[in-house]
Amino acid sequence: MIRYVKQMGFRVRDIIHVQDEAGILRYYAEEHAPSWRKKLVVYDPDSKPVAFIQVKGFILRPYYSVVVNGTEVARIKKNFQMLGRQFEFLDWAWDVDCSPYGYEYDVSFNGTPVIFVNKKLISWGDYYRVEIDESLDELVGVAIVLAVDCACFDSRRSIYY
């Protein structure tokens, strides 16, 4: 299935829309910051929270916990690299293969590619085309894409610290 992820540009709080090919809103995500450890909450179209991505760990080496329907499904961290981006999933059978600057990446589960992401280079806010394999739950796929985005651009966005 194809999904489009669009971050609304130039806002005080991050707002991200996830739409299907027909332009129908499937999910949206907003920054939620009641404490110093920020999190991004994912809502269904009826405004029910269904997932969240939260920064955990130490300040210098944080990781992003992905929780869907109350269950942690993945943890991802960004590894230091002079040029480009490198990510690592912790404790699960996930793997990510990223282009040098994070504009394209594939996510695999148990060695099988299940998510393919392409970022539009010039847009008002971040804009991604996401292809999620039918074998993977759509919400899990969307939450993982949002977590990789958080990890990828954490130094640019202050809300994730």
pLDDT at 159: 36
Among 90-99, 116-125, 149-158, which stretch is predicted with the lowest mean pLDDT? 149-158
Contact 106, 115 (CB under 8 A): yes
pLDDT at 132: 94
Give the N- to C-terminal CA distance of the chain in Å, as an integer: 32
98-141 tens-digit pLDDT: 776 667 888 888 888 999 998 877 666 678 899 999 999 999 99
49-75 tens-digit pLDDT: 999 998 887 666 778 889 999 999 888
pLDDT at 22: 94
Binning pLDDT at 50, 70 and 90, where does residue 78 land?
A: confident
Query: CA 24, 30, 14, 18: dihedral to nearest 10 degrees?
Result: -20
pLDDT at 82: 57
pLDDT at 89: 80
pLDDT at 3: 94
For residues 131 and 82, what is the distance between their CA atoms, to the nearest angstrom?
29
Contact 20, 1 (CB under 8 A): yes
pLDDT at 156: 47
Contact 128, 145 (CB under 8 A): yes
